[in-house]
Chains A and B, each alone.
Chain A
């Protein structure tokens, strides 16, 4: 069961590298967060630790609903339903993502990370998420997509914390959720301003500062 959920998470992250329009990323991200909520929910069901339920619900509300809504609103306002721009080709991106996933699983197996009983299956995926999130940030040229890569990294860290210690203490978890929310709002504001100034979200236009 856990393996299947982990696989779904992995697919969602690789999928983000294969989209054609920026707006496609929003439902994928919502799906990713939904599965993430599911992992926390499943762990709560198995361990009955109440803070995992809170984490699951918060993930559902904040990450699967509010954050996609903000991103959707931003994209609509900027009106960038256009194609994504990548550094690599779609196929090269898929190849690199596969290599990174294998690397993630390999690194995790070598690190001997301690893990909790029910979180163990997610551990390799969580590390892979950090790798893939970073790759999304590097591969995509649109500013907004870097924000999405960042969210993927944060999702990975959330999963790391869950798999190795059933999450951080609840108060801290709340703080991190709040941070995420503010981050996405500010990414939205800045993307909007970047788009209205440069008439593009392509970060290659932003290369005037050097030295």
Chain B
């Protein structure tokens, strides 16, 4: 249990330290502590994947393969984002956009944000899961509002209100779930532990679990950016500082999906597979809704945000299609999307800082002005649209195969069609930004070494996993798949 405490305490301590001590010391310290948390996360993952799930603290903590997988993503992207933040924030200070004081606040909220997401992944109790997800909204709303401009405040307000109302529905869902097991467990706190509900899934009241599942899907779905509850997402993700956008898209959305899938595994068992069509419908709708918005974008980060709506849809679709293959594809896609999307947001951050604009028509010739960032941006953009030989292609292909195998022809064919349309829409803009002549006033330079170094970690994943998925990683994903199928505890 010591390692779980460490995992949760490190972000808290880092947050307070960065807030209190000198900025220059704090920014380096937080890189070290987040790296240390990666080690702790790996250690936990090793225990879970090779031995058994971790339980503790009067069964309030429960970490199985699915939680461990989410923890790994959070610590990894958290580390890369904190590395990237150093360069990003230094640049903002040098440009006199913000003062040192605000940088300290930034690190305070940033690490608290990472801490809340980790807390969500380790708790066993669905009530605490809800509390944790609500806390992630509250903490990250302040990060979205970081620049205090009109647009960022607008985005943060919309995010806070939509997120809180959505999540209120999820609470109603969890109350109903509590109710559906009410006759079995009485008033005990354990009645909301998902291990308990999971074991009793076959005996829950099906009528209540169905209502509970729909409320939870709509509620946490709002947080995960599933259409039609996604309206806050493009605003918040485009207005936040770029490292925060990367974390929002890369892992916060996954954490919200994690909440849905936890409850899905219970309810789908109770309902004998009747919960899956809801996921397919919401998933497909999210992919479809991205198409028109992708074609009319002017803002680079907004375009990337819409692409996140699409990918959350793809993951949801994959889980909805289900079966060993569909779930495998979905989990793999979670990992691949996190890597490729955070990479895209990091490169977009570098580009917008150098070009002083997020408007795509003002950005051109990135490959010439910023050779490293530009080429990585191009690779990441190809990856995210599912172009071989990059990682996202592998998982999208797997989901497609699962779709055809399980007989979801209409869903799979429309999925393919939408993906092709999104590919062409996105590539139209990306190619125009990457090639061509740069505007004369844009300097030919890379951003500082911190923000360039951070790019290489997700880049390795994007390229390597496109070529082959290492056997140990396949094993890891298999184990997560077993959890999602409602298998062993």
Instruction: Please report B residues at the A interface, Cβ cutoff 8 Å.
Output: 125, 127-128, 130-131, 134-135, 138, 141-142, 145, 148-151, 153-158, 160-161, 164-165, 168, 171-172, 175, 178-179, 182, 187-189, 191-192, 234-235, 238-239, 293, 296-298, 302
Q: Which 5 A-B pairs have the closest CB atoms?
A: A172-B127, A175-B131, A206-B154, A169-B189, A209-B235
Is A19 close to B, CB under 8 A? no
**A20-28, A60-68, A100-108, A156-164: which one contacts chain B?**
A156-164
Check if B175 sits within 8 Å of A161, measured CB to CB: yes
Minimal Cβ-Cβ distance residue in B for A112: B207
Contacts A183-B164, A186-B141, A197-B148 given; does A172 touch B189 at CB 8 Å: yes
Residues of A within 8 A of B235 (CB): 209
Contact between B157 and A157, CB atoms less than 8 A apart: no
Given contacts A171-B127, A183-B134, is CB(A208)–CB(B150) below 8 Å?
A: yes
* Contact (A208, B189) CB under 8 Å given A165-B182, A168-B127: no
Say yes or no: is A146 at the interface (Cβ < 8 Å to chain B).
yes
A171 touches B153 (CB 8 A): no
- A183 to B184 alpha-carbon distance, docked (Å): 34
A193 CB contact (under 8 Å) in B148, B155, B238: B148
A 185-200 binary contact with B (CB < 8 Å = 1; else 0) = 0110110011001100
**Assembly CA distance A182 to B112 (angstroms):** 13
**Chain A residues whose C-beta falls within 8 Å of the C-beta of B130 in the assembled complex:** 172, 175-176
B165 and A153: CB pair below 8 A? yes
A/B pair count, beta carbons within 8 Å: 121
Q: Complex Cα distance A133/B119, Å?
A: 30
Distance between Cα atoms of A206 and B234 in the complex (Å):
15
Distance (Å) between the CB of B19 and the closest chain A CB? 16
A175 CA to B123 CA in the complex, in Å?
13
Cross-chain contact B160 with A172 (CB below 8 angstroms)? no
Q: Which bracket fits the contact residues of A?
A: 35 or more
| Chain B binding surface SS class | helix
B150 partner, pick from A160, A161, A178, A197, beta carbons under 8 A: A197
A134 — which chain B residues lie within 8 A by C-beta? 165
Q: Which of B165, B187, B188 contacts A166 (CB 8 A)?
A: B187
Inter-chain contact A169/B127, CB cutoff 8 Å: yes
Can you report 8 residue pairs joining A to B where beta carbons are below 8 Å apart? A137-B165, A157-B168, A164-B179, A169-B187, A171-B189, A176-B127, A183-B138, A194-B153
Please report the C-alpha to C-alpha distance between residue A150 and residue B137 in the assembled complex, in whole angstroms.
14
Hey, which chain B residues are within 8 Å of A178, CB to CB?
131
| Cβ-defined contact, B168 with A153, below 8 A | yes
Q: What residues of A have a CB within 8 angstroms of the CB of B135 in the complex?
A: 179, 182
Shortest beta-carbon distance, B218 to chain A, in Å? 13
Is the pair A186, B165 in contact by a Cβ cutoff of 8 Å?
A: no
Q: Report chain B residues within 8 Å CB of A172.
A: 125, 127-128, 130-131, 189, 192
A207 adjacent to chain B (CB < 8 Å): yes
A154 at interface by CB-CB < 8 Å: yes
- Which residues on A sit within 8 Å (CB–CB) of B127? 168-169, 171-172, 175-176
**Nearest Cβ on chain B to A107's Cβ, whole angstroms:** 13
CA distance A130 to B215 in the complex (A): 14
Q: With A164-B175, A206-B157 as given contacts, are A169 and B191 in contact (CB-CB < 8 Å)?
A: yes
